Amino acid sequence: MPAAPYPTPGALLIGDAFNMRHPLTGGGMTGALYKVFCASPDQARKEMREACFDYLSLGGVCSTGPVALLSGLNPSPLSLILHFFAIAINGVGRFHWEFESRTELVYFSCIVHAHGFARNMNWSIVDSQDVEGNPAVTLELKDGPYSRAMWDFSFQAMYKIILDAKSLSTELVITNTDNKPFSFSTALHTYFSASVSGASVKGLKGCKTLNKDPDPKNPLEGEEERDVVTFPGFVDCVYLEAPSELLLDNGLGDKITIQNTSWTDAVLWNPFLQMEACYKDFVCVENAKIGKVELGPNQSWAATQHLSVG
């Protein structure tokens, strides 16, 4: 509970002494923030600091919200959750999904990144709100000198994330804001905490496959024959015309349903010994649109994803 005033002659309260028992800041937030903002050579802390500063510099609710929490003016845990995830998404959003033009990749293979350019660009937070009591944030990406140097088109990408107690929903909308048509492909890099030795995916049997092991530049075409797909070693495989619902067993006791609309394909990936320090702790089950999406001027394409723990 917040502290009650206790006037004492000669006593002077400095800093957050009056607020030290606030249910949010008094529970260790101040100490945690000190660890984030204090000088440190640790690269992870540096990235966290930059993500926090970038978020606060957006102004509006992105600055008044955290300040209200830290000052004790807003004791709402939901607001804390909202801004926590908004900052996290702002910091790692560029790594979350990829957006590339397969057509232009042929002509700009020397400079276009293998996973597109969008994950290397800064996204803007354009909205944060409660959706039926659940925190939601919307990110925006537009073309700029960096993207136009590789892919000379004007576009807008809007990415909305809604967090629930046992689910995560996303919506990606790509709009052609140019005066000429373009084509693109896109995918989500969705990493799941898992025990790789026990992880498996159901629902892919019968899909056409493009297996990038052993040569990612010349994937082997095939068809998935297994009812249950596992991760016995290095895995990098594209599943074409995948179903709109897959079931992931993460090997840790969780069954995760992966549902989507408009994501016609899927990708399974685990680096195995290429990332020996961490490969045992995660798997990637990615929704993707491998085939080209053609958009004329002012046309849009939208795709949704819903992850839920059953």
Q: What DSSP line would sit under 222-247, residue for residue? A: EE---SEEE-SS-EEEEEET--SEEE
Number of Cβ within 10 Å of residue 309's Cβ equals: 14
User: Which residue type, as a one-letter code, is found at position 255?
Assistant: K
> What per-residue confidence (pLDDT) applies to 50?
76
| Residues 199, 231 contacting (CB under 8 angstroms) | yes
Instruction: Return the DSSP state at 133.
Output: T
Give buried/exposed letters for 47-80 (b at 16+ CB in 10 A, else e): ebbebbebbeeeeebbeebbebbbebebeeeebb
Lowest pLDDT segment from 115-119, 132-136, 267-271: 115-119
User: Which residue type, as a one-letter code, is found at position 73?
Assistant: L
Q: Which domains does the chain have, with CATH numbers?
A: 17-75 (no CATH), 86-309 (2.70.98.10)
CA distances (Å), origin 77, targets 28, 56, 108, 169: 14, 19, 47, 21
In sequence order, the 6+-apart residues with CB closer than 8 A to the CB of 245 are 203, 257, 258, 259, 260
Has residue 236 got a pLDDT over 50? Answer: yes
Q: What is the pLDDT of residues 154-189, one digit of tens each?
A: 999 999 999 999 999 999 999 999 999 999 999 998
> What per-residue confidence (pLDDT) applies to 86?
74
Has residue 274 got a pLDDT over 50? Answer: yes
Q: What is the pLDDT of residues 241-264, one digit of tens each?
A: 999 999 999 999 999 999 999 999
Instruction: Return the DSSP state at 2.
Output: P
| Residues 77, 161 contacting (CB under 8 angstroms) | no
CA distances (Å), origin 258, targets 61, 210, 261: 32, 21, 11
